[in-house]
Structure 1
Amino acid sequence: MEETEKAIQDPLKLKVKLKAENVDICYPPIFQSGGKFDLRPSASSNDDDLYYESGSVIICAIGARYGGYCSNIARTFLIDANSKQSKAYEVLLRAQNAAISALKPGKMLSSAYKAAVEVVQNELPELLANLSKTAGTGIGLEFRESGLTLNGRNDHLVKPGMVFNVSLGFQNLQSETNNPKTDTFSILLADTVIIANDKPPEVLTLVCSKAVKDVAYSFNEDDAEQHKIQSEPNASEVVLSKASLRSDKQEISKEELRRQHQAELARQKNEETARRLAGGGSVTGGTRGPVKPLSEMIAYKNVGDIPSAKEPMIQVDQKNEAVLLPIYGIMVPFHVSTIKTVTGHQDNRTCTVRIIFNVPGTPFTPHDTNSLKHQGAIYIKEITFRSKDPRHGSEVTQLIKTLRRQVTSRESERAERATLVTQEKLQLAGNRMKPIRLQDLWIRPAFPGRGRKLTGTLEAHINGFRYSTSRPDERVEIMYGNIKHAFFQPAEREMITLLHFRLHNHIMVGNKKTLDIQFYVEVMDVVQTLGSGRRSALDPDEIEEEQRERERKNKINIEFQNFINKVHDHWGQPQFRGLDLEFDQPLRELGFHGVPHKTSAFIVPSSSCLVELIETPPLVITLSEIEIVNLERVGLGQKSFDMAIVFKDFSKDVFRIDSIPSTSLDGVKEWLDTTDIKYYESRLNLNWRAILKTITDDPEKFIEDGGWEFLNLEGSDSETDESQESDQGYQPSDMEVESDSEEEYSDGESLVESDDDDEEEEDSEEESEEDKGKTWEELEREASRADRERGDESDSEEERKRRKAKALGKARLADRRDLIGNAVKRPKH
């Protein structure tokens, strides 16, 4: 497998003229045999040797990437195949060809899978249950375009230029042999196909033949004719391969194609927005409901419940959550929730305690409901006590603050829990299935509380995940139906390998309400102890330590991948198909640096989202929820630009990613165009809050004015302004006032030019040529000639440098005088 990877990444070995730095693999090459088969791209090869005895089947699958674009191919090789194996392969080959032929512009994607099912139904109906559930997916910058899955339910239309990985297979077929390694076999065929406008779909991987005569082998000595392993590609296949490699001169430039696609997206987006605004959908999000009223804060139900005090001094009743204040000799109770702030100040002999209350007309939290109960009553806004006992005053202040913090935290958590959507009950794995475990994981957000943090175990049960530590109160349950997105990010250049879940509805982690939850493992030590001396890169201990880190990283990544594969198998059951659950993996090669929150981070696209999962808070933006993207501060001379993401729900604030390097601009535009997201460019940052308010206030005018096309006008205006600024040349400082007025005049006169102006310009040019000082070369030749006449050829190098600098200074001074002279001599009309 490693040799195959090296061969793919070194085009010279394959005698292909491609740049090696642009070549990469999409996934580790897959080789399977000996009755152990897994037809998914996420499968992995085992350590067993290839089994090629009589009746065996070998599956090979390879995914390669060039310039960020993916391709895929899979072939099945038959060794001394029996009649059942040959018949199954022939039927699958015809089914795949039928699926490819059905991919025509204007047809639904489901027609491809239905065509394949029809072939199997007519020829081998008993194998229909073993047919793969899809006929492949769309492929491009992402290996798997989840929105372009070729199944029986996808009603998206096929369009010219689309590329598909058409993959079909029979899983776990039974062969009547006595050999356990050949009793069970599978067959897989996959090709990369591009959709043309006026001709049949083009199979880009057709050079690798899949005809029965080219994949069936025989190692029997008596059959010399079948011992030939592989036939050379025929002439038509070679021509087809060469035809697929068109030169750049024959193609429309990538920028032009992108511009045309963006124009089409602009039309579609304006139509979609107009329909949505006309129907009143997604203009504003659901308004936040009123805060659920809390139970009335009562410290004591009866006067007799108030504790008696021996001395008139401030007391804190933690059991009843009350503060007793001595007012005119009477202990008056106040519930701690009515207190806004408390401060203490100590002098040499006294202590002052100042208490400010929540009263109507002052800011307060939504949980301070009692302050609004009696609007017409008289409230105490502030009260100050002075004590001769500084120790008591400091102790009381600290007790009130602590009690208030506890009560506020408890009520806030209660209010947040009241807004949670009720989740289904977790069904633990029992006799039906064995729980799938991943151990020694950290969690983010972390559980609250003091003390040492503990790692925990993530378990996959029948209808959800459970994460728990050794502490009984540290437990989190995530239902499969509540998962919106699931991500797996292996450690490559990062310190952690992680699983991340974005949820549909909030859940509580301890006392924190969250939509994002993450489980991770540190693959290497973040802190490294430095020795007294500087270690060499060739130091044996250093090499051994790096090797241990690589082994640990690979081991952890494999453990996570095995966990994901088992979970995917569980999610493949019929009851979960409607949830569309799958672990997505971010694509690092499409990533770019930016500032989504407060610090710079590496932001990476995935098949369905734009994510940044290492820093906190995490960034997860669903691509299907994006209306448009505006790239701001784009222009010559700018080292960075900003990205403003406008959501379909106009009630959401526009999300900004700032300070993206300008070197990433083309990559960002290419990714946005590939994912069918309309983007605009502008030279300035826009006030999106005001823009969205204008749209929501008068959507009809927004539609009449052309929808989002006003952003194009903004871009053209800013370009015109900057072009005018860039035309302004250098002006000497002492001529600033005059040059300004002259420039205004010349701008006005530039629209009409006369022959007299041309003649005067020519005269002035001739004058300036005559008035010009001598060039440095002329001055140097004169100085050398003078030295030879004097016989002074033994000057030191320093002396020659001084003369050269002096002569150069004279030349520059002459040029500056000419420039100023020309500015003064400029004719005025």
Structure 2
Amino acid sequence: MKILQKGVLERAKRASLVSQEKLQVHDGLTRDRIQLLDLWIRPALSGRGRKVSGTLVAHVNGFQYTVSKSEKVDIMFGNIKHAFFQPAERDMITLLHFHLYNEIMVGKKKTRDVQFYIEVMDAVDSIGLKRRSVWDPDEIEEEQRERARRREINRQFEPFVRRVDSIWTKPRFNQHALQFETPLQKLGFNGVHGRTTCFIAPSPSCLVQLIDAPFLVTSLREVDIVCLERVALGQKSFDMVFVFHDYTRDVVRIEVIPMTDLDKIKDWLNDCSLKYYESKLNLNWRKVLKTMMNDQESETNDRWEFLNPDASDSGSESSETEDDQYEPSDLETGSESNDEGSDDESVVISGDDDGGLDEDDGGESWDEMERKAKDADAEMGSESDSEDERQRRREKAKAKSRHPSGAPQKRQRLN
């Protein structure tokens, strides 16, 4: 029963595959073939108790990997989205990796990433090595053998890569724009993608991790924005999220990146012309993308501005700057001058009609108020006057207040 169920599942997987063109086999001599020997494949072909190496041959319109007459894997040039050649530098394997447009069957597994590789040193040998001393003769000899094997394996791959690149430059394959890319190890960084920490490095058009499964191949031309999360003082690591132009796709998240790599990653993003934002928290990207899909009216350039922590501050600063630099137009200047003129006019009119203090209304005239002010000044005197002088001025002021008209009235009465 289980065997029957497996057969049904395998047929269902194959039925969902996109049909590929037929491989055109190269008819030339064996010595003229573009091929690599003794390669292993990932994902591994099932049904074997141990790994068995095979041969990768470049034919007219695709590759064919052969283990035996019955076990073959065909990869068509037209189905290759990205091709990578990674020599053994940091790691113990040299590999060719193909990221495909459409999935193919490798054994009984359906996959979009196919890799062919050679191990520089067997896992058993690498585990059995014990670092004893830098000056130990056996240790030095083993390191020399390791470096020599790396160079030898890399030299085997390099002619194959060059000859395949020359095929891809032919007019027949120009539309595919294929070329082997090599990840830039100097720009790489450590991060968690999948289950474990791994070394991730950019290539000219992608960000890749090709050593540990699951593999990471992120095409930069499909990325809309990048969000750097958990970027705050006191944090030792941060996360990086890639959001694609197609909002129906899940984001790609790389976690626990050392904070020491932040500036290097920002420089790389700027060099790639990728717009990035910083966030102190992790966002719920499923809800964010759902909101973006529903909000089709917002402009593409401004729809991500809510991720900018300085957006509100910059808005207030710009408003303040506008107020500082505000200059009234001619029309506004004219209206202000008219208003000022009307204010002056109203002052004059109100002084004549309602605002004046006329004697008929029982108020004091301007002359009387001015005289009283002078009398008050005379009464107070200066600070240098003596107390007797001040007293005489007070009495004189009281006498004048009793006879406001003064001495002329007395002379009139005497006459």
Cα distance in structure 2, aligned partners of 1:704 and 1:553: 48
Is 1:455 the counterpart of 2:59? The answer is no
Shift of the 580–529 alpha-carbon distance from structure 1 to 2, 3 Å rule, reads: closer
Cα distance in structure 1, aligned partners of 2:130 and 2:25: 55
Deviation at 1:519, TM superposition (A): 0.3
Deviation at 1:705, TM superposition (A): 10
Shift of the 436–530 alpha-carbon distance from structure 1 to 2, 3 Å rule, reads: closer
Q: What is the TM-score when the length of structure 1 is the normalising length? A: 0.36
Cα distance in structure 2, aligned partners of 1:691 and 1:616: 29
Cα distance in structure 2, aligned partners of 1:494 and 1:474: 29
1:506-521 correspondence to structure 2 within 5 Å? 506-521=103-118
Partner of 1:474: 71
Shift of the 614–530 alpha-carbon distance from structure 1 to 2, 3 Å rule, reads: closer
Is 1:558 the counterpart of 2:155? The answer is yes
Is 1:712 the counterpart of 2:289? The answer is no
Deviation at 1:557, TM superposition (A): 0.4
Deviation at 1:534, TM superposition (A): 7.4
Shift of the 716–411 alpha-carbon distance from structure 1 to 2, 3 Å rule, reads: farther
Partner of 2:89: 492
Shift of the 506–705 alpha-carbon distance from structure 1 to 2, 3 Å rule, reads: closer
Partner of 1:54: none
Cα distance in structure 2, aligned partners of 1:427 and 1:625: 32
1:91-110 correspondence to structure 2 within 5 Å? none
Cα distance in structure 2, aligned partners of 1:686 and 1:441: 43
Cα distance in structure 2, aligned partners of 1:532 and 1:713: 51
Whichever residue aligns with residue 89 of structure 2, its letter is E
Q: What is the TM-score when the length of structure 2 is the normalising length? A: 0.71
Deviation at 1:533, TM superposition (A): 9.2
2:35 alignment partner, one of 437, 451, 465: 437
Whichever residue aligns with residue 410 of structure 1, its letter is G
Partner of 1:678: 275
Q: Which runs of 5+ in 1 are unaligned?
A: 1-402, 718-829
Deviation at 1:532, TM superposition (A): 12
Is 1:653 the counterpart of 2:267? The answer is no
Cα distance in structure 1, aligned partners of 2:117 and 2:293: 42
Partner of 1:699: 296
Cα distance in structure 2, aligned partners of 1:526 and 1:453: 13
1:581-620 correspondence to structure 2 within 5 Å? 581-620=178-217
Shift of the 625–561 alpha-carbon distance from structure 1 to 2, 3 Å rule, reads: same
- Contact in 2 for aligned 1:495/1:526 (Cα 8 Å): no
- Contact in 2 for aligned 1:488/1:498 (Cα 8 Å): yes
Cα distance in structure 2, aligned partners of 1:542 and 1:568: 39
Question: What's the CA shift string for 1:586-623, capped at 9, x where partnerless?
Answer: 00111111111111111100000000000101100000
1:326-337 correspondence to structure 2 within 5 Å? none
The alignment-based identity, stated in percent, is: 57
- Contact in 1 for aligned 2:277/2:307 (Cα 8 Å): yes
- Contact in 2 for aligned 1:681/1:715 (Cα 8 Å): no
1:761-780 correspondence to structure 2 within 5 Å? none
Q: Which runs of 5+ in 2 are unaligned?
A: 314-415
- Contact in 2 for aligned 1:683/1:715 (Cα 8 Å): no
- Contact in 2 for aligned 1:682/1:714 (Cα 8 Å): no
Shift of the 667–533 alpha-carbon distance from structure 1 to 2, 3 Å rule, reads: closer
Larger RCO (alpha carbons 8 Å, 6+ apart) = 2
Shift of the 715–508 alpha-carbon distance from structure 1 to 2, 3 Å rule, reads: farther
Whichever residue aligns with residue 492 of structure 1, its letter is E
2:259 alignment partner, one of 645, 662, 684: 662
Deviation at 1:482, TM superposition (A): 0.7
Cα distance in structure 2, aligned partners of 1:457 and 1:505: 23
1:261-300 correspondence to structure 2 within 5 Å? none
1:465 alignment partner, one of 63, 88, 92: 63
Partner of 1:422: 19
Whichever residue aligns with residue 299 of structure 2, its letter is I
Whichever residue aligns with residue 709 of structure 1, its letter is E
Match of 1:598, SS state, is: coil
Deviation at 1:581, TM superposition (A): 1.1
Match of 2:134, SS state, is: coil
1:155-166 correspondence to structure 2 within 5 Å? none
Deviation at 1:486, TM superposition (A): 0.2
Larger radius of gyration: 2
Shift of the 624–704 alpha-carbon distance from structure 1 to 2, 3 Å rule, reads: closer
How much is the aligned-residue C-alpha RMSD, in angstroms? 2.2
